[in-house]
Structure 1
Amino acid sequence: MYLGIDLGTSGVKVLLIDADQEVVGSASAHLDVSRPEHGWSEQEPADWIRATDEAIAALSAKHGKAVAAVKGIGLSGQMHGATLLDAGDEPLRPCILWNDTRSHREAAKLDADPRFRKITGNIVFPGFTAPKLAWVRNNEPEVFAKVRKVLLPKDYLRLWLTGEHISEMSDSAGTSWLDTGARKWSAELLATTHLDEGHMPALVEGTEQGGRLRDELASRWKLQQGVIVAGGAGDNAASACGMGTVKAGHAFVSLGTSGVLFAANDAYLPKPESAVHAFCHALPRTWHQMGVILSATDSLNWLAAVSGKQPAELTNALGEGLRKPTGVTFLPYLSGERTPHNDAVIRGSFTGLEHETDVPALTQAVLEGVAFAFRDSLQALREAGTTIGRVTAVGGGSRSHYWLKAIATALDVAVDIPADGDFGAAFGAARLGLIAAEKADPHHVLTAPSTAETIAPVAGVTAAYDDAYARYRALYPAIRGVS
């Protein structure tokens, strides 16, 4: 048996698979996000441990015999979070999360140093880890003075699980401190934020061993001693491992809290000016590119909250057939935007409202706005040298066929829906646990699921979508100075 642990923003999910990669069971536990000030987003690291322990206990209660047979554990986690530890490995403050934008000034200053884009292959985004440390130094100097280790969220869980300070390439590529092409920490970039390699965890590949489970936890969970913990992956790379998106030309679109258009690459292809992320993949000698939008299903959830309806109720009201855009346009910049704008202060908007605009029209505009944000990412990936002919849909929003039709039409690519199953980040993490424990060939393990259905672009509304996208593109520069 092999266990995947996925530390998300809203909860921890654990998933158990057998040697044939069949899902045996899963469990989850909730997490809350604290927003003490505008643009801030934090979590207590202790809550990650509590939630993980709860989820594993729930899994053991249902599948105790199977859990006792676990040979490998894989980790996945929300990326970019700054978990700051003192000399005794105690957190110095709440973790600053990926969607926290307080460090936008520090990010702009670091990004103005040409070494960052040259070495990391990426813009320094406010959500990345390095500018958060610069913010802490500027605003909480007494905390910064005590920092002895900086860990990403899943690697804080690893510290609890194994007692070791270890990370891996895919997650570390989102810190703005990794030499992404060489797959190692950059002492030069660390020095610009008054840190050194001693503050960083050791690095392994995601498919390699990244520690062994502590005896205390093995005894508590009734596992065998010395269970291998794999390097694991950041959440998007872990999802790619779950989907088998590990070879050049393979891509997926993720409709989660944030949105991701992810393409695997067999070479390092940075183009930071396009605001595309060029990161290491979880496999050795493999990279990936992705466009990221910060509010995907979050946009629909926001509309649901203000309208007093459930998200599914909103999308179901649109029916099955894809409608032509109404003239109402939504910019999904509720928390700023990454690809292609790299703008932490821009905010969302509706335009084209009239007396006749009703809730379904607003829903339609929200779905189209997110689809057009993915089209922005597709354009950016193409500029960075990646060709995408089709994508596989994952994430909670992919349950809406209407939304997938909108995305297929906006991107003018086929969207594949995988056969029923759990192929997300927790599944990818479990697969990495299997690979590390058995020293298996990653490409033999990380296969793609079968396709249940393919959604093609809707030819009858393609021209209308092109016109609506042109309006969408014109709005960002128009509202930038007033939002």
Structure 2
Amino acid sequence: MYLGIDIGTSAVKAVLVGEDEQLFAEAEVPLTVSRPHPLWAEQNPQDWWRAVETALGGLRLAAPGAFAAVRSLGLSGQMHGAVLLDAAGELLRPAILWNDGRAHAECAELARRLPGLGQVAGVPAMPGFTAPKLLWLAENEPETFRKVAMVLLPKDYVRFRLTGEAVTDMSDAAGTLWLDEAHRDWSDEILAATGLTRAQVPRLVEGTAVSGALRAEAAEALGLPPGLPVAGGAGDAAAGGIGIGAVEDGDAFLSLGTSGQYFVTTDSFRPFPDAYVHAFSHALPGRWFQMAALLNGASALAWTARILGADDIAALLARTEAAFSGRPARPLFLPYLTGERTPHNDPHARGVFFGLSPDVTQEEMVQAVLEGVAFSFAEAQECLARAGTHAASVAAIGGGSRSHFWMRLMASALERPVVLYSGGAKGPAFGAARLARIATTGEGPAAVCRTPPVADIIEPDRNLAEAYRPTFARFKRLYRALRGVFQAD
């Protein structure tokens, strides 16, 4: 029995997975994001730990026999966050998250100091990444910066509480901008450009390696035996790939959770920073990936439901599907509620409804939101194509993939079949459990990271795909027309 824990932005999720990959139990504990200032996004890392305690307590109640049989655990989590510890291992401030845009000026400074950054770190400096956050901290909170003894990523703070070890895996380290992706090692030059040394970043392991053992204190709090192995794990994007079996060159999927990713596995490091495509280390040795990262995924739908007063998102989607005319929605929606990364690298961009009229219905507004996110993925697909990466079909994972209606719109916008796998919505936590198994048993990744059974293949609607082409062109023109307005504000 293997335990997978995902430290997400909106929730901590945990799964119990058997030797035959049967899901014995799962639990989810919601989280909230603090936004004390414009562009800021923070969380208290202690909330992650409390949520882990609650989630594992739920698993223990739901499947006590399976919980008692856990052999090891793996971690996945939201990437890019900065968790800052002092020399005593105590938190210095709230964690600065992946969707925080305050460090935009520091990105320009980092690019000035390191003109070739994107070719080494796999992507140009962007505000959500860890490295520019530390430059911001040095300038704006110098007393705190001077006390920083260790910078951890979100899942690795939980690892620190579990094992007492400061460790991260290659795929999560990739999102800091401090990793030399080709050599899978910290770059002393990039660290120095942000005022840090190797002593202030965690030890690196592959996602399939054992990173440490469960401490007695943590074991007692969680109801697990001390000494359990804790796998290196993965950042959430790579963990999603492990869970869906995207481990060979060319395997592609899109993840539609709070944020969105269009992910393609590669067998070598292939940077293409000009298109803001992320070229990162995978969670498996000898594997990398190219990824277009979208800051706004299913969170755009959750926001829409909230402002429309719809407590039941599934019912809202059902109403929208019932009202669907087979044509694009009349309004356009730019889904950039928290800025955007690929392809714009614009923390100032914001959500926009364009083309509203008195007869536009709630359902048509929801359709516009679904289409806006789908068009963002289509634009991401264009960026990957510029980088030389093409996918004939694409799998889908994450909570948004549960909506067949949304996936129908997605397939038509991408003009690609969308493949849904059984259990695909389990996502990164399932991938973390797979990494725990490999770390414990020594099995080869090919034997464990198998593609799940296909549940459905959603083909593009030819008529809708044709109708989307001019709408997609308008979607791109709308952002270009507003970019200067966003930045002026």
What TM-score comes out, normalization by structure 1 length?
0.97
Q: Which residue of 2 aligns with 1:294?
A: 295
Question: What secondary structure does 2:74 align onto?
Answer: strand
Question: What secondary structure does 2:116 align onto?
Answer: helix
Matched, 1:39 2:42: no
Q: Is the 8 A contact 1:69 1:224 kept in 2?
A: no
Quote the offset at 1:63 in angstroms: 2.4
Of 453, 456, 459, the residue aligned with 1:456 is 459
User: What is the CA–CA distance in structure 1 between the aligned matches of 2:69 and 2:299, rounded to whole Å?
Assistant: 38
Quote the offset at 1:72 in angstroms: 1.2
Unaligned runs of 5+ residues in structure 1 are none
Percent identity, aligned pairs only, is 49
Amino acid of the structure 2 residue aligned with 1:158: R
Q: Is the 8 A contact 1:34 1:42 kept in 2?
A: yes
- Residues 1:27 and 1:107: Cα distance change in structure 2 (over 3 Å): same
Question: What secondary structure does 2:254 align onto?
Answer: strand
- Residues 1:201 and 1:476: Cα distance change in structure 2 (over 3 Å): same
Quote the offset at 1:66 in angstroms: 2.1
Matched, 1:307 2:308: yes
Quote the offset at 1:355 in angstroms: 2.5
Matches within 5 A, 1:270-419: 270-309=271-310, 310-319=312-321, 323-419=326-422
Deviates more, 1:428-437 or 1:25-34: 25-34
- Residues 1:389 and 1:34: Cα distance change in structure 2 (over 3 Å): same
Quote the offset at 1:37 in angstroms: 1.1
Deviates more, 1:357-366 or 1:92-101: 357-366
User: What is the CA–CA distance in structure 1 between the aligned matches of 2:425 and 2:260, rounded to whole Å?
Assistant: 18
User: What is the CA–CA distance in structure 1 between the aligned matches of 2:375 and 2:268, rounded to whole Å?
Assistant: 28
Q: Is the 8 A contact 2:335 2:352 kept in 1?
A: yes
Quote the offset at 1:249 in angstroms: 1.7
User: What is the CA–CA distance in structure 2 between the aligned matches of 1:147 and 1:89, rounded to whole Å?
Assistant: 10
Amino acid of the structure 1 residue aligned with 2:63: H
Matched, 1:122 2:154: no
Deviates more, 1:61-70 or 1:472-481: 61-70
- Residues 1:340 and 1:322: Cα distance change in structure 2 (over 3 Å): farther
Q: Which residue of 2 aligns with 1:29?
A: 29
Q: Which residue of 2 aligns with 1:472?
A: 475
Quote the offset at 1:21 in angstroms: 1.5
Q: Is the 8 A contact 1:81 1:152 kept in 2?
A: yes
Q: Which residue of 2 aligns with 1:249?
A: 250
Quote the offset at 1:356 in angstroms: 2.1
Quote the offset at 1:176 in angstroms: 0.7
- Residues 1:42 and 1:326: Cα distance change in structure 2 (over 3 Å): closer
Q: Which residue of 2 aligns with 1:109?
A: 109
Question: What secondary structure does 2:485 align onto?
Answer: coil
User: What is the CA–CA distance in structure 2 between the aligned matches of 1:269 and 1:422, rounded to whole Å?
Assistant: 28
Quote the offset at 1:424 in angstroms: 1.1
User: What is the CA–CA distance in structure 1 between the aligned matches of 2:126 and 2:424, rounded to whole Å?
Assistant: 34
Amino acid of the structure 2 residue aligned with 1:259: G
Amino acid of the structure 2 residue aligned with 1:110: L
Amino acid of the structure 1 residue aligned with 2:316: L
User: What is the CA–CA distance in structure 1 between the aligned matches of 2:19 and 2:12, rounded to whole Å?
Assistant: 23
Deviates more, 1:351-360 or 1:398-407: 351-360
Q: Is the 8 A contact 1:107 1:126 kept in 2?
A: yes
Amino acid of the structure 1 residue aligned with 2:16: L
User: What is the CA–CA distance in structure 2 between the aligned matches of 1:200 and 1:420, rounded to whole Å?
Assistant: 35
Quote the offset at 1:322 in angstroms: 6.5
Question: What secondary structure does 1:174 align onto?
Answer: helix
Matched, 1:2 2:5: no
Question: What secondary structure does 2:320 align onto?
Answer: coil
- Residues 1:18 and 1:420: Cα distance change in structure 2 (over 3 Å): closer
Q: Which residue of 1 aligns with 2:90?
A: 90
Quote the offset at 1:61 in angstroms: 2.4
Q: Is the 8 A contact 1:115 1:189 kept in 2?
A: no
Once the two structures are superposed, what CA deviation does each residue of 1:79-132 show, in whole Å capped at 9, x if it has no partner?
111000000010100000111111111122213431321210201110000011
Q: Which residue of 2 aligns with 1:62?
A: 62
User: What is the CA–CA distance in structure 2 between the aligned matches of 1:328 and 1:343, rounded to whole Å?
Assistant: 23
What TM-score comes out, normalization by structure 2 length?
0.96
Question: What secondary structure does 2:440 align onto?
Answer: helix
Q: Which residue of 2 aligns with 1:137?
A: 138
User: What is the CA–CA distance in structure 2 between the aligned matches of 1:360 and 1:213, rounded to whole Å?
Assistant: 49
Quote the offset at 1:68 in angstroms: 2.2
Amino acid of the structure 1 residue aligned with 2:19: A
Question: What secondary structure does 1:392 align onto?
Answer: strand
Question: What secondary structure does 1:434 align onto?
Answer: helix
Question: What secondary structure does 1:318 align onto?
Answer: helix
Amino acid of the structure 2 residue aligned with 1:34: S
User: What is the CA–CA distance in structure 1 between the aligned matches of 2:389 and 2:148, rounded to whole Å?
Assistant: 39
Q: Is the 8 A contact 1:171 1:234 kept in 2?
A: yes
Once the two structures are superposed, what CA deviation does each residue of 1:204-242 show, in whole Å capped at 9, x if it has no partner?
000111111112333454534421110000011111111
Q: Which residue of 2 aligns with 1:237?
A: 238
Q: Is the 8 A contact 1:271 1:384 kept in 2?
A: yes
- Residues 1:414 and 1:379: Cα distance change in structure 2 (over 3 Å): same
Q: Is the 8 A contact 1:322 1:458 kept in 2?
A: no
Amino acid of the structure 2 residue aligned with 1:338: R
Q: Is the 8 A contact 2:250 2:264 kept in 1?
A: yes
Deviates more, 1:185-194 or 1:20-29: 20-29
User: What is the CA–CA distance in structure 2 between the aligned matches of 1:422 and 1:395, rounded to whole Å?
Assistant: 4
Question: What secondary structure does 2:127 align onto?
Answer: coil
Quote the offset at 1:48 in angstroms: 1.2
Unaligned runs of 5+ residues in structure 2 are none
In the alignment of these two chains, the number of paired residues is 483
Quote the offset at 1:465 in angstroms: 0.5
Question: What secondary structure does 1:84 align onto?
Answer: strand
Amino acid of the structure 2 residue aligned with 1:286: R
Q: Which residue of 2 aligns with 1:178?
A: 179
